[in-house]
Amino acid sequence: MVKKIDKSVLFFKPWITTEDKKSVLNALNSTFLTFGPKLEIFERSFSKMTGAKYAIAVSNATSALQLSLKAIGIKKGDQVIIPDMTFVATASAVINNDATPVLTDISEDFNISTKDIERKITDKTKVIVPVHFAGKSCNMNEIMKIAKKNNLAVIEDCAHAIGTKFNGKHVGLFGNAGCFSFYPTKNITTIEGGMVITNSKKIADYIKSSRNHGLTKSLQRRYEKGYPWEYDVIEAGYNYRLDEIRSALGNSQLKRISELNSLRRKASRYYNSKLRLVEGIIVPEITNDDSCHLYIIRIQKKFGESRNSLYSRLLKSGIQTTVHYKPLHKFTIFRNNKDKNENYPNTIIIYNEILSLPLYPQISRKEQDRVINCIIN
Ligand SMILES: Cc1ncc(COP(=O)(O)O)c(C=O)c1O
């Protein structure tokens, strides 16, 4: 029988090791299945890795953003500046706090445009939410300067940026808080999961309580002193807890973050070495400070084929690619704000040119060569 050769290249493949599986099984055998010691270890390890005073694990990055905004006192009528080019969760975290996202143009590096941030500030603006897009840090010096000048808070969306640094400091530590995602495609995964890092005790305490129904004490703490039912509830909270199984997986994955990121970097640099020579293709600049969450090229006129046509041609050859992201202002939910394409000139140009190529730590040279050859020929 002739063996069928699978020539497909998936956009992403998760990497769950035998060690990861052992950690998960071990967690299933423990007394605490949620909100226990494995969560605390995960938080301690994450705060050590980033250098944050506090790391608070939650159910996903969307809840991390929602609670961080709530922690700094966002309320109805407030405006929050976010990039037009991001996943919708950056905006829904604002909307679900009854505040208004103000969509902002991006720069050539796909990050929020600081010039457009300044243009969008009004007397209702309370917060800037920069997204470290694809794992490359925003210019946090410029953003913090604007924030200080205008007395604004900054909540960093670090969903793409586990391991990303700016001037030697982990992202998420420049503003009031930083929010991370552990969704399966992210640089480490807990399947679903998120983390807030902050140096503010006030923000940390608020999120620790609000993620757990607003209770002032966790189950473990309640048995340490006094009666376990003697907790208080100051404000209605949420159930945004991360369970012990996910925390155990997070602990196990986090041990490999340097390896995972350096494999992503290596694969991204390999793409760069071949694709930067192709006329009409712009490749990303890669530094050791980037988490290389996504590998995004720009397809320009000189390439002689549109982005959409290249996408279809790759798919026909079994190669999955995608676009990060369709700009937010194009969604029905944002139509009411009367924003038109011309308000986001860079975003529109970039959106029509970008293509995210398959990238994950274990991608092989053979798979990358298939992608590269298919693009070139
Ligand atoms: C930029 C950005 N922010 C927020 C999120 C939300 O993350 P989660 O799925 O963990 O809620 C994502 C998820 O892909 C994202 O890409």
CA angle 268/160/328 to nearest 5° reads 110
> Cβ(323)–Cβ(110) under 8 Å?
no
pLDDT tens profile 291-308: 999 999 999 999 999 999
pLDDT tens profile 10-60: 999 999 999 999 999 999 999 889 999 999 999 999 999 999 999 999 999
Please determine, for residue 340, whether its predicted confidence score (pLDDT) is greater than 70: no
Token pair, residue 271, equals: 């793409």
Please determine, for residue 220, whether its predicted confidence score (pLDDT) is greater than 80: no
Single-letter residue type at 189: T
Cα dihedral 138→142→144→148 (10° resolution): -160
3-state class of 375 per DSSP?
helix
Please determine, for residue 265, whether its predicted confidence score (pLDDT) is greater than 90: yes
CB of 60 within 6 A of ligand 1: the answer is yes
Token pair, residue 44, equals: 């301690």
User: What Rg, from alpha-carbon coordinates, does the chain have?
Assistant: 22
Q: Which pLDDT score, from 0 to 100, does residue 218 have?
A: 79
Please determine, for residue 338, whether its predicted confidence score (pLDDT) is greater than 80: no
Q: Tokens 């397809």 identify what position?
A: 299
Minimal-distance CA residue to ligand 1 atom 7: 61
Token pair, residue 141, equals: 């010096």
Distance CA 363, CA 8 (A): 12
Closest ligand 1 atom to residue 186 Cα is 14
pLDDT tens profile 57-79: 999 999 999 999 999 999 999 99
Q: Which pLDDT score, from 0 to 100, does residue 3 have?
A: 60
Q: What does DSSP say about strands 125-128 and 79-83: parallel, antiparallel, or unpaired? A: parallel
CB of 62 within 6 A of ligand 1: the answer is yes
CB of 180 within 6 A of ligand 1: the answer is no
Single-letter residue type at 329: H
- Residue 23, Cα to own-chain centre: how many angstroms? 24
- Percent pLDDT > 90 in the chain is 90
CATH superfamily membership of 258-376: Aspartate Aminotransferase, domain 1 (3.90.1150.10)
Single-letter residue type at 85: M
- Percent pLDDT > 70 in the chain is 97
Q: Which pLDDT score, from 0 to 100, does residue 155 have?
A: 98
Distance CA 126, CA 147 (A): 9
CA distances from 337 to 297, 319, 328 (A): 30, 37, 11
CB of 311 within 6 A of ligand 1: the answer is no
Q: How far does residue 294's CA lie from ligand 1's centre (Å)?
A: 13
- Architecture in CATH of 18-256: 3-Layer(aba) Sandwich (3.40)
Q: Which pLDDT score, from 0 to 100, does residue 219 have?
A: 76
Closest ligand 1 atom to residue 183 Cα is 10
**Averaged pLDDT, 73-87:** 97
Sign of torsion over alpha carbons 324, 329, 330, 333: positive
Q: How far does residue 65's CA lie from ligand 1's centre (Å)?
A: 9
Q: Which pLDDT score, from 0 to 100, does residue 91 have?
A: 98
Q: Which pLDDT score, from 0 to 100, does residue 259 have?
A: 98
Q: How far does residue 186's CA lie from ligand 1's centre (Å)?
A: 9
Q: By C-alpha distance, which of 263, 253, 192, 191 is closest to 19?
A: 253
Average predicted confidence (pLDDT) for the chain:
95
Q: How many helices (H) and strands (E) does the chain have?
A: 13, 12
Q: How far does residue 89's CA lie from ligand 1's centre (Å)?
A: 6
User: What phi, psi does 187 have (nearest 5°)?
Assistant: -65, -30
CB count in 10 Å sphere of residue 108 = 12
Please determine, for residue 328, whether its predicted confidence score (pLDDT) is greater than 70: yes
pLDDT tens profile 91-150: 999 999 999 999 999 999 999 999 999 999 999 999 999 999 999 999 999 999 999 999
Distance CA 313, CA 374 (A): 8
Q: Where are the chain's structural domains? A: 18-256, 258-376
Single-letter residue type at 301: K
> Cβ(83)–Cβ(112) under 8 Å?
yes
Q: Which pLDDT score, from 0 to 100, does residue 226 have?
A: 87
Confidence of residue 7 (pLDDT cuts 50, 70, 90): confident
Distance CA 178, CA 53 (A): 12
Largest CA distance in the chain: 73
> Cβ(254)–Cβ(42) under 8 Å?
yes
CB of 359 within 6 A of ligand 1: the answer is no
Q: Which pLDDT score, from 0 to 100, does residue 180 have?
A: 99
Confidence of residue 4 (pLDDT cuts 50, 70, 90): low
CB of 131 within 6 A of ligand 1: the answer is yes
